[in-house]
Structure formats: structure tokens, C-alpha cells
Structure 1
Amino acid sequence: MGLLKKLAGQSAIYGISSILGKSINFLLVPLYTGYLPKEDLGSFTMLYALIAFLNVVFTFGMETSYFRFATGKGLDPKIVFQNAQTLVTAVGLSLGIILFLFADKLSLLFEYEGKTHLFQWAAIILTIDALMALPFARLRLDGRSLTFALLKLFNILLNVGFNVLFIVVAYHIVAGDFLQVFYPYVADWYNPEWGVDYILLANLLANLIILPIIWKLAGKWKLQLKRSILLPMWKYALPLLFMGLAGVTNEVFSRGLFEYSLPENFYPGLNSREAGGVFGANFKLAILMSLIIQAFKYAAEPFFFQQSENKNNPLLFARVMHWFIIFCTFLMVVVSVNLKLIGALFFQAEGYATALPMVPILLMGYLFLGIYYNLSIWFKITDQTQYSFYITLIGAIVTIIIILTLVPVLGFIGGALSTFGSYLVMTLLCYFIGQKYYPIPYQTKKDVGYLLIAFFLSYGGFLIDTGSLAFNFILHSAIILLYAGLIFLMEKKELNSLLKSFSKK
């Protein structure tokens, strides 16, 4: 129980910071939809999907490899960090330079003629992200969750601040709405034709400020490349690299390439890139589930490795999975039944609400991704990471098939189903293969029951619309209370045990 309490505590710190940070970042949705055309949001969706894909290449699975070799191999964690950080730095700088030099060709390839600087900035962002990856991982491994969380939050605040400065404040100054004393200075650099350009520039500047801070906090390191350490780490990380590439295909194909899969004029009044912007904006409404998954992953990955020698760890892993599913399904119900209200608050222009029906599907898809992260511990602590590649490759194939077959027919729903279908298949494969090599006594029947009931309540609650805000609120609240009551009845004994544990000092 103490170990579960420790994991919950660290997850809470990561979660609170993520919720605060993402909530602040979420405020960019009304800013983007209010100030930028849908075509710019389409460009934003595609470019950040590309960045997400290349991020995997730049770090090539070394974060997880670092956790494994710094905890369970009898090696000095400092030496492991120095070697891993040296290798990631060398690879990140090399790839960044190559990407920067080929930025012009990439801009033509992706139909962004005259926007070479976007791909140059993306190269710099990717390089800085790679340089920060291992230092952030070191904070997690050392249990410095508060430091990690505060620094991530500061990065988000900087990013949001620069976005507001470039997209809102500078726009109004040049338009003559306020602060005219600054007009001569702002007019020298402000470009009214820029939209997604300022989003990338804000990200770039925020990362540049954070880089020296995280290096300082993570501690000194020296350049070191020892074959005896790096070769086993590389062999362990290589399947994780391909796993990451296959996994992030979901992001690229369901978001970045959505506009290329959708037939022109599929949605009246929207070209394909504008429809991609609507799709990307609605994708952000699933952010609450994704940030919980991210917070859990931050805490759980080093935690699982540290507990890998504990003879009771299968029971611990099963218990973690059970409560993870309960918490996330409850969150899914709360968000889904209130989606129309959330959409009305954050979409500041017409045409975005048409994609809302896809969001409950995305929430469920992200939940399966979180379950997959839980399940994947078996191949990480048994050093059988090759299975990660096979599983995620199949998931990527499922994504591609669904995108090519369903997006031209179902549009937004088809894009959401690609995420849902891929993560569902990956979860099933990881579960059945994992139970063969590393049996864990999951509460499978009960957990599946929670998933089915929660999805039914989520989509049913979303579709309910009496035409009255008051009646809608009452019915939606009743659905949430119904699910909460079900959890209480099913888990009464366990809840009492957990509450007693967490109340102990």
C-alpha cells in the first residue's frame, strides 16, 4: 500500500502541474480559433504532428533505456547518464543540422512554398528538445517530481506568454487599438501575414530559455562515450525507437495527414487544410485524458523499474492498472457529457463544433494508450523490447488502413477511429503476449466492464440534448453521479482501505 501511495503522490504532482500547465495552454485554443484562420490551424496541426514524429528519432528510445540501465544493471547511474546524454547530444545536433540544411526542400515537399523558416525553426525546436530529454529524465529518476513539474509549467507559461504577445498584443498595437507608444518598435518586426509562424517562434524562444535552466538543475556532466555501456543501451533502445516511430504514426496520419486523406470539399465551405484545422482544434479537447496519461507515465516508468526486483510487483502492477482505469473512465464520462459546453467556451469562431462527435472516441483511444503504457512494463523489465516494435508496427498499420478507408467516407469520425482502433489493437496484443511471458493478475473482467459502461455513458451523455440548458445539466450530472455511485458500490471495500492508507502520516 505504501508503494501505491508513493506512486499516487508523484503522479499527483506531475498531474497537478500538467493540469495547470495544459489548462493554461488550453487557453490558446480560443486564442487560435479567434485570431487565426482555419488554414493556419491546419498548418499548425500538420507541423506539430511532424515534430512529434521526429522527436522520437531525435531521442531514439534513450530515456527508457536510461531508466533501465541506471536502476537494474548494477551500473553507476552518473556514468550511465553521462554516456547517454553525450550520445543523445551528438545525434540531436547532427540531425538538427541536417534538417536545418534541407528545410527549403521540406517546405516544398509539404506544400509550404516560401515558408522555409518554419522547418528551420522546427529543426531547432527538435534539437533543443533532444538536449533536454535526458536531464528531465534524470529529475524523474531521482524523484525530483516537484522540480520537474515546476520547470515544465514554467516552460508552458513562457510559451503561452510569447503566443499572446505575438498573436494578440502585437496585432492590436499595430491595429492602433492600444499601447500606441510601442507602435514604432512593434511595427518594425510584426508581420500580419504570419500565424502558425508565431506559434513555432513562441515554442522556440520558450525552449531556448528553459535549456540552460534544466542543464543546471540536472547537474554537471562530462562528454563520455563508453562502448561497454552504450552498446547494450543501444540494443535495448533500438526496438523502442521503432516502437515510438510506429506509435507516433497515429499522430502523423490521424492529425498531420488528415488534410491529405480527406477529399476536397468533403465539408461544405471548408477546403482540406481548413478541415484539418477543425480536426486539430477538436483533437485538443481530448487533452484532459492525454495529460493524465502523460502525468501517469512520468511517475510510473521510473517507479516500475525501481520496483522490478520486488517479488510482489505483479500484484502491485495489477492494482495500479485497476485504479488507473477507474480514474480515467470517470474522467472520460465527466468530459464527454459536457463536451458541447466545453466546445462553446473554447471555440471562438463558427464551424468547429461540427467535429465534436469525434471527441468521445478520441478520449477512449487515449485511455487505451494509457492502458498500453501500463501493460508495456512486462517487455521493459524483461528486456524483450523487440516486442514493442512488432506491436506498435501492427498498430501503425491499423492506423493507416483506417485513415485510407474511413476518412474519405466518415471524415472527422474516421480520423478519430484511426486513433481508437490502433490503440485498442496494441492494447490487446500487449496484454495477450505479456500474459504469456510475464503473467500479471489483472482484474480483466471488471476492468473491461468499466470500459464498456463508461464509453456507453460517455457517448450517450454527449448525444443527450433536451434543448434546455437546465435539463441538460441535470441529466448530465445524473450520468456522472450514476457512474460514481457504481464505482463506490463495486469498490467500497478497496476504497476504505485506500483512504485509510493515504490518511496515515
Structure 2
Amino acid sequence: MSKNKKLIQGTLIYAIGSFGTKILNFLIVPLYTYYILPGDLGDYDLLMTTVSLISPLITLKISDATYRWIINKKENEKVYISATYKLLLRNSIVIALTILAINYFFPIWNVTYFILILIGDRILECIQKILRGLKNQRLFAFSGILHSFIFLSFNFISIVILHKGVRSILLSNVFSLYTTIIVLFVIETRLRNVNMHMHYKIQQKEMLQYSAPLVPSALSWWVMSASDRYVIRFFLGSVSNGIYSVAYKFPSILQIMFQMFNNSWTDLALSELKSDKETKKYVGSIFEELYKFSFGMSLILMPLTKLVMNIILSESYKIASVYVGFLYLGTVFQGLSSFCSVGYLMGKKTKGAAKTSIYGALTNLFVNLILIKYVGLFAAAFSTFVGFFIMWITRMYDVKDDFPIALNKFKFTIYLFLAISMSIVVIFTNTAVDIILILCTTFIFVIFNINIIKKIVDKLYNFMFNGRMKNNVKQK
């Protein structure tokens, strides 16, 4: 199978799990806005933001190392999986006891749920990384769908029927996480084929040398994506934080497209690509298609999201629609930065990922703190864009020796200018203008991506008609 076919196939498999998950989570947003007060939703969002902050400290990103090792070392998969479990268990106990000690002196909101969600989320992510390393992408995709289905079903029952409020979201998180973990262990026998009685100090040291530099990188990603909530809470209050959290959920549609592509791209790069001229040319062509598709999608989604938000959200949340433009831009450069990070993983040079992430995070925090007093929530959205842009620029430069990416600067600048212009325009538009913009940007998207569209149409045609003809011949 060719590299392109493997990339497409992997992307489609991840899409089944990831896209379905995000669509289901996207559909729950209107439910929250009608049944949960902005202040309560802001507190919940802050708790989940804290989970994402502490998470790397539990695993020390060991799951990334496990994935990197077992994808190429099948004969030692049992050893590396066992070493991962032991480290995860030890760190989870330490973190849980630390949080309980802190709670004794400084009470934490819903501390029991907080600990259970924190540990369960890390266990599930670790298992999913192992599944990718074992090349069981189908079960990985299934895990995402199962987790979301349980979470959303439990949410609907407890919020709409039982009227349990924000605490029902916490309970739904716990129930869905641990149910999914149990199901995965039952289905995939290799997850259970471990030896917890042996010592794995050599393997753990080897893996931690790779994964430890990813911790500051992960914390920097947290600053980029989540620290805005703390700044907003401090300067503007919980209500503004609730509104911003709703605005941030909509660009996750584009974010998940990047995620499902980058998962497949990482799998392909680590198992198939080598450092040669052919690879450099291939990487450059893939990157160009990626940024054309990304900017094109963002142009459509900016006015479309504003239109949809004004229709489905309750009145107290509709103001969130004006902030999505720069959040979409931030998502585009987040995805492009992730594309570049494969260069670090291929060479096992993860310190570079940490360094460039810190540059972006500091930029984000600085811009946000400077502007938030003057432009409110716009500062958070704009600083997210600027931070990820700086991260992308520094990564492009940092990986150029080992993983050079050809860039047509003129084309890229035009696409970027159009996207920035649109993010400003949608702040001031009404419904009629939004509809016109959706039609115009759809046309622009087709122009940007005509080659990709042709390939997709050809593949669908061959699958639907040539496949049927082959089946008919076999039957005869």
C-alpha cells in the first residue's frame, strides 16, 4: 500500500472515533447553555482546565514514549507496557495523596470527582496511546465513540430529566471514563498481558529520557489552550469564563480534523518515512495541501459558526459568537505546529518540542495580560492565535535541518491575510451577511482545494462503481 493510501486510511479510521466524539460533544453545548448557569459552567470548565494542567505530572508523558517504542519494537511490547503501568500506578497514588493533603488546608471544589476524573483521564489516554502503538486503530476509534456515547447519554438523563445541574457533568465524566477503560481491557488481551512483579528501571529510565522533555511542552500547550481561563476568571469573573468556554468549543470541530490527520501522519512518519530527498519532497507536498485545506475550512467555519451559535444558543451565551474568528486562526496554527512536531519525534529530539512550546506559551500569556483590561475576551482569543503562530514559526525554523518543510511564502501569506480579515469581519456581521460569506468562502475553499476534491471524488467513484463491477464479475 502506498504512503498516501496508508495516510488516508489511517485518517479515516481516526475520523470515525474522533470526529464522532467531537460531534457528540458539540451537540451537548446547547444543552449546557439552557440548563447550566454561566457561572457554574465556568467553574466546571476551570476544574477541567486544572485537570489538563496536572495530567502531564501524573504520567510524565510516559504514554508518548510507550507509543514511540512499541510501534517499532513488537518483541518487547509486554515489557514496555508493564513498565508504563507501574509508573502510572505509582504516580497516580502520589498525586491523589498530594491533592487530598492540599484539600485539607485549602478546600478544592468537588475534590473527589476531581481526583477520579484526573486519574481516569490519564489511564484512558495511556491505554489509547498503547492501542495506537499496537496498531489497533479500530479499537482506538471505538474507544472514543464509546466514551462520548456514555458521557452524553448520562448527561442528558441527569441534566434534563433529573435536573442535577453541574454536578451531573462531573458524575458523567467519572462513569464514562472508567466504563470505557474496563471495556478496552476486556476486548484487547494485550493490554492485560503484563507482569507487574518485575522491576523495569532500565526501560523506565530509557522512556523517561524521551518523555520527560515533553512535560514542559505539554504544560506550555496548556498555557496556550487553557491558561486564558484563569486570566479571564481573575480579571473578568466566572460568567465571562463560561461564555469564553462556549466560544472555545466550536473551533474544536477544526481541531479534531487536525487531530485525526496528525494521528495518522505520526503513525506513518514513525513507521515509514526516512531522511532522504524523496521524503523531503513528500513532506512539503503534504504540508501545502494541509494548510490550504485548513485556511479554506476556517474561512467557511467563521461565519457559519456565528450563524449557528446565534440560532442554537440561549440569549446569555450568544455574545460568544464574536470571539470564534481568532480562535479558529489559533486552531489552524496549532495544527500546523503539530505537523512540524513529527520531526522531533522521528529523531527522538523532544527537547526542541519543549523549547518551542514555551516560546509560544509565554507569548500567549504576555499578550493576554497586556490586552485583557482593554479589549476583554478578545484578548484571550487574539493571544491564543498569536501564541500558536509563534510556536509554528519557531518549529519551522527548528526542524529545518532534520525535517525541512518547503513553504511557498507568497501563497501562504495570501491565505493568512484572508483568514485574518475574515476573523475581524465576522465580529460586525449580521445574519444576511453571514449567509453571503458562507457561500463566498465555500467557493474559495473549492478553488483552494480543487486537486484534493478531485482525488476524493475519483476515489469515491472508483469505490462505488468499479468495486461493484468487480463484485459482479466474481459472482458470475
**What TM-score do you get using the length of structure 2 for normalisation?**
0.88
Note the alpha carbon deviations across 1:74-103, whole angstroms, 9 max, x for none: 962332222223222322233233324433
Q: Aligned partners of 1:81 and 1:316: how far apart in 2?
A: 33
Q: Aligned partners of 1:237 and 1:475: how far apart in 2?
A: 44
- Alignment check: 8 A CA contact 2:296 2:441 kept: no
Q: Note the C-alpha offset of 1:237.
A: 0.7
Equivalent residue of 2:332, what SS?
Answer: helix
Unpaired runs of at least 5, structure 1: 109-114, 172-189, 263-271
Q: Aligned partners of 1:358 and 1:33: how far apart in 2?
A: 17
- Alignment check: 8 A CA contact 1:304 1:377 kept: yes
Equivalent residue of 2:399, what SS?
Answer: helix
Letter in 1 for 2:367: I
Q: Note the C-alpha offset of 1:248.
A: 0.7
Match of 1:253 among 222, 227, 230: 227
- Alignment check: 8 A CA contact 2:117 2:177 kept: yes
2:40: which partner in 1? 40
Report 1:150-165 matches (<5 A): 150-165=142-157
Q: Aligned partners of 1:474 and 1:393: how far apart in 2?
A: 40
Report 1:219-230 matches (<5 A): 219=190, 220=192, 221-223=194-196, 224-230=198-204
The alignment status of 1:422 with 2:387, answered yes or no, reads: yes
- Alignment check: 8 A CA contact 2:303 2:434 kept: no
The alignment status of 1:142 with 2:134, answered yes or no, reads: yes
The alignment status of 1:313 with 2:283, answered yes or no, reads: no
Equivalent residue of 1:351, what SS?
Answer: helix
Report 1:281-360 matches (<5 A): 281-309=246-274, 311=276, 312-348=278-314, 350-360=315-325
1:127: which partner in 2? 119
Q: Note the C-alpha offset of 1:42.
A: 1.1
Letter in 1 for 2:215: L
Letter in 1 for 2:155: N
Note the alpha carbon deviations across 1:160-187, whole angstroms, 9 max, x for none: 111112111012xxxxxxxxxxxxxxxx
Report 1:74-473 matches (<5 A): 76-107=76-107, 115=109, 118-171=110-163, 195-218=165-188, 219=190, 220=192, 221-223=194-196, 224-262=198-236, 272-309=237-274, 311=276, 312-348=278-314, 350-457=315-422, 459-460=424-425, 463-465=428-430, 469=432, 472-473=434-435
Point out the more displaced range, 29-38 or 67-76. 67-76
- Alignment check: 8 A CA contact 2:70 2:134 kept: no
Q: Aligned partners of 1:6 and 1:434: how far apart in 2?
A: 24
Do the aligned partners of residues 170 and 497 (structure 1) sit closer, same or farther apart at CA in structure 2, a change above 3 Å counting?
A: closer
How big is the alpha-carbon RMSD for the aligned residues of Structure 1 and Structure 2? 2.5
Q: Note the C-alpha offset of 1:226.
A: 2.0
Do the aligned partners of residues 10 and 345 (structure 1) sit closer, same or farther apart at CA in structure 2, a change above 3 Å counting?
A: farther
- Alignment check: 8 A CA contact 1:282 1:355 kept: yes
Unpaired runs of at least 5, structure 2: 468-476
Match of 2:445 among 483, 488, 505: 483
Q: Note the C-alpha offset of 1:433.
A: 1.4
- Alignment check: 8 A CA contact 2:3 2:268 kept: no
Q: Aligned partners of 1:25 and 1:74: how far apart in 2?
A: 35
Note the alpha carbon deviations across 1:173-223, whole angstroms, 9 max, x for none: xxxxxxxxxxxxxxxxx6xxxx33221111011112112112233422222
2:58: which partner in 1? 58
Letter in 2 for 1:321: F
Q: Aligned partners of 1:57 and 1:326: how far apart in 2?
A: 36
Point out the more displaced range, 405-414 or 326-335. 326-335
Do the aligned partners of residues 484 and 458 (structure 1) sit closer, same or farther apart at CA in structure 2, a change above 3 Å counting?
A: farther
Q: Note the C-alpha offset of 1:443.
A: 4.5
Do the aligned partners of residues 487 and 368 (structure 1) sit closer, same or farther apart at CA in structure 2, a change above 3 Å counting?
A: same
Do the aligned partners of residues 6 and 455 (structure 1) sit closer, same or farther apart at CA in structure 2, a change above 3 Å counting?
A: farther
Equivalent residue of 2:316, what SS?
Answer: coil
Q: Note the C-alpha offset of 1:333.
A: 1.6
Equivalent residue of 2:226, what SS?
Answer: helix
Point out the more displaced range, 49-58 or 129-138. 129-138
- Alignment check: 8 A CA contact 1:336 1:359 kept: yes
2:472: which partner in 1? none
Q: Note the C-alpha offset of 1:343.
A: 0.6
Q: Note the C-alpha offset of 1:446.
A: 3.1
Q: Aligned partners of 1:22 and 1:500: how far apart in 2?
A: 28
- Alignment check: 8 A CA contact 2:248 2:324 kept: yes
Do the aligned partners of residues 409 and 472 (structure 1) sit closer, same or farther apart at CA in structure 2, a change above 3 Å counting?
A: closer
Q: Aligned partners of 1:278 and 1:56: how far apart in 2?
A: 27
Runs of 4+ in structure 1 displaced over 6 angstroms?
Answer: none
Equivalent residue of 1:419, what SS?
Answer: helix
